[in-house]
Structure 1
Amino acid sequence: MFALAVAGLASITGCGNTYRPVVTAINPVGPAAQPQKFAIVVSTTGTTSPGLATIVDFAGDTVLITASIGVSPYYFATNAAGNTGYTLNGDGSITSFDISTSLLSSQVLQTTLIAGANPVSIFPQSTNSYIPEPGRNAVAVLLGTPPALKQELPIAAGFSPVYVVGNSTGSRAYSINQAVGGGNGQVAAIETTSNTLSSTIPVGATPVYGVMTADGKRAFIMNQGDNTVSVLNVQTNALDVVPAGATNPIKLIDPQTGLPGTAPLWADFALTRNELVVANAGSGNTPGTVSIINIPLCNATALPTNPNCDPTNPADATGFGQVLANIPVGLNPRMVAVLSDATRAYVVNQGDSTVSVVNLTTNTVTKTIPVPATIHPNFIAVIAGTPTGKVYVTSPESETMTVIRTDTDVVDTTIPLQGKGVMVRTQP
């Protein structure tokens, strides 16, 4: 038997060739790798102790690093690129930090504002950061790293600044100012290249929030006191001249059902649909709503109805300002976030601890997701991805953040924060 085996081996290896087994490559299967993006959460651990910035991996839903920031943070924003974070803190300071998985507490920078400023929000622009200061009736302008106070822009007597709306590259931003005694507010135009105020424009009652289109053509102001949205033409620095059949400010009344949108307080863009999605708080005792507003400007397809369209200052297309629907959602909605493909919007409802999923094609709520681990949620952010995106939800009463998958619209996991959630932001 051994001789036969040797003979057989000789017949294979005779001719001097060495044979090796052939390995056939197998194409990889399974979903593509998720992009490396982060959700950044700020939480507070008490009124006298440092807060925390927690960086969460989008793909794995894991905490990558946590660093100490300012004392009792209450507002959090990032720059447009999503690589720098800023917090306003209860001790009157501002902290800024790089959004990095190697972030150390010692790398967090701190700036102190003038005493009594009582800052309420921060808008980081490309070179400037703007902070409304109700306590000084001014908007602070900060420059550099860390941001340092360079000047204050005074707001007219009888008004109090609450928010600055703009975009990262715009030459003009607006300070949203409420009337001190109630009634109609105003916006003050900030020329960002010179950091001067150029004009004031009247808006509706009790304005609270605003958004500006990425091209800097229009800005929209949420007037909570009279259930309207004011439209600004940023090029002309004036109230927008809307087409026949529309009003400015836009009245949040569904023309089909007569259902009103009450107390608008947040908005986001459904870019590919040319729509503005507005969250309306409602009365607190009945479900709030989401208003879908048509906001097309003249373009190649709209030119026949806008023969005098100027590409640098486009007119509103036919249908601009029309309320397409008012969609009932949960109790006391606080915020809305739209997916980048504009298929759905997610509304966080503080009153019943749910998230409403709004289909923007049918303008209906397709699912209501309970988030009991995040009690009375008030802030939401989204990241697109393949095979799934993520929705992040925080609450000032919870030490956890809820993560929802967008492919199934179910809760994927909850993430411990070591503190009460303040806000969550995501990278673009």
Structure 2
Amino acid sequence: MASSASATQTQSPRDRAYVANRDSDTVSVINTRTNQLITTINVGDAPQGVAVDVSRARAYVANGGAPSSVSVINTLTNQVDLTITGVGSGANAIALDPGRNRAYTTDSNVDTVSVINTSTDQVIGTLNAGDGPTAIEVNPARARAYVGNFGSDDVTVIDTSTDALVTTITGAGDGPAGVAEDRRRARLYVTNLNNDSVSVIDTNTNQVLPLSINVGDGPQGVAVDQRRSRAVVANIGDDNVSVFSTRTNQAIGTFGVGNGPQFVALEQRRPRAYVTNFSDSTVSVINTADGTLYATISLSGSNGPFGIAVVG
């Protein structure tokens, strides 16, 4: 019993969203049960991406200022415990492979992915990606990371068990800006900012499938609801999100959010999507089933919300 209690105390709190505010150098922490702002944490320069390791009670924030860094937040205290340097000059997206003690940070300025050992908090390698890597998704079960390269219109695949490049998937679309995987169906969804579509990649074969899903104007962030077989795409130009079925790849609906939606994260237990609205510094909370707007959360002085992570 003592061991179980100790383990519980080291877990990240549930019902939390962490929002990286690029223009304020802060991270907002939201209670997703009440949809209320809990606190605001000062981090590095121009934070863009955020990922949470629940087992270690840590949030990792990619700060895009030059030189770039990663702020490591203790999610039990909501304090920055340390800052990891040596991650390039244009860090943006970040994703974790917790079981292998790895964090991967993309750098769109120098076209690389930095590999961090999260046990030692040290950068242990740098991998070449395509032109302008801006998005990353990790599937720990398959030991794969997928990097969307905005400038070269392709996806870099990394083996997270060896930290080695596997392949480059060409023809991924025009301006890949977001990536998310439906792990049950082995499908990677890639938003194409420049032609308002989503490409679909078979992650068993690393081939682009001959289909394209039309969405709104300027799609960027995308997230997959594994339980309900749905994907949600944030459309910057239309101030809305597109929702489609990952079973049929057919549209379910388009739902309005705030001004300048950038990224989206899902609460897997409930059909809720949290969408960062860059231009009005809010987070919209919607029901992914019918588009009901549950809440619009003000970030109380923090500006430019960008990346977001939800712990359900």
1:197 aligns with 2:124: yes
Distance in structure 1 (CA, Å) of the matches to 2:153 and 2:22: 36
Residue 367 of structure 1 is matched in structure 2 by 253
The answer for the alignment partner of 1:12 in structure 2 is none
Query: What SS does the corresponding residue of 2:237 show, helix, strand or coil?
Result: coil
Tell whether 2:182 aligns with 1:270.
yes
Q: 2:155 — aligned with what?
A: 229
Aligned Cα root-mean-square deviation (Å)? 3.8
Aligned to 2:217: 331
Residues of 2 paired with 1:46 and 1:196: CA distance? 26
Larger relative strand fraction: 2
Partners of 2:131 and 2:112 lie apart in 1 by 9
**Change beyond 3 A, Cα 1:197–1:418:** closer
Matched, 1:70 2:65: no
**Length, aligned pairs only:** 292
On the 8 A contact 1:75/1:121 being kept in 2, the answer is no
Opposite residue 209 of structure 1, the aligned amino acid is A
Compared with structure 1, are the counterparts of its residues 361 and 124 closer, same or farther at alpha carbon in structure 2 (3 Å cutoff)?
Answer: farther
CA distance in 2, matches of 1:197, 1:52: 26
Extract unaligned runs of 5+ from structure 1: 1-35, 91-115, 126-144, 241-247, 254-260, 297-318
Corresponding residue of 2:169: 250
Amino acid paired to 2:178: W
C-alpha separation in 2, matches of 1:378 and 1:405:
18
Cα displacement (A) at 1:402: 1.8
What is the distance in 1 between the residues matched to 2:261 and 2:286? 13
**TM-score where L is the length of structure 2:** 0.76
Q: Look up the SS of the partner of 2:273 in the other structure.
A: strand
Which residue in 1 is equivalent to 2:299? 417
Deviation at 1:427, TM superposition (A): 0.8
Q: Deviations over 1:330-354 (max 9, x none)?
A: 1111200110226110000011101
Give 1:15-414 correspondences, 5 Å limit.
37-40=14-17, 42=19, 53-58=28-33, 61-63=34-36, 66-70=38-42, 74-75=47-48, 77-81=50-54, 83-85=57-59, 117-119=66-68, 146-149=80-83, 152-153=85-86, 162-178=92-108, 180=110, 185-187=111-113, 189-190=115-116, 195=122, 197=124, 201-215=127-141, 217-240=143-166, 248-252=167-171, 261-282=173-194, 287-296=195-204, 319-341=205-227, 343-371=229-257, 374-385=258-269, 388-414=270-296
Distance 2:224 2:134 in 1: 20
Instruction: Identify the range of structure 1 (349-358 vs 415-424) with the bigger mean alpha-carbon deviation.
Output: 415-424
Asked if the contact 1:78–1:124 (Cα under 8 Å) also holds between the matched residues in 2, the reply is: no
Q: Please give the TM-score of this superposition, normalised by the length of structure 1.
A: 0.57
More deviation, 165-174/71-80: 71-80
Deviation at 1:209, TM superposition (A): 2.5
Q: CA offset at residue 211 of structure 1?
A: 2.0
Give the drift of 1:123: 7.3
> Closer, same or farther in 2 for the Cα pair 1:272/1:397, shift >3 Å?
same
The higher radius of gyration belongs to 1
Unaligned residue ranges in structure 2 (runs of 5+): 1-12
Alignment CA distance shift 1:43-1:238 (3 Å): closer
Question: CA shift at 1:238, angstroms?
Answer: 3.1
Q: Alpha carbons of 1:273 and 1:172: their partners in 2 closer, same or farther (altered >3 Å)? A: same
Q: Distance in 1 between matches of 2:276 and 2:18?
A: 8
What is the alpha-carbon distance in structure 2 between the residues aligned to residue 231 and residue 396 of structure 1? Answer: 29
Native 8 Å contact 1:272 1:341 kept in 2? no
Higher relative contact order (CA 8 A, sep 6+): 2
Give the direction of change, closer, same or farther, for the CA distance of 1:172–1:422 in structure 2 (3 Å limit). Answer: closer
Amino acid at match of 1:398: D
- CA offset at residue 413 of structure 1? 3.3
Structure 1 Cα separation of the partners of residues 275 and 295 of structure 2: 11
Q: Distance in 2 between matches of 1:44 and 1:276?
A: 27
Amino acid at match of 2:97: N
Q: 1:97 — aligned with what? A: none
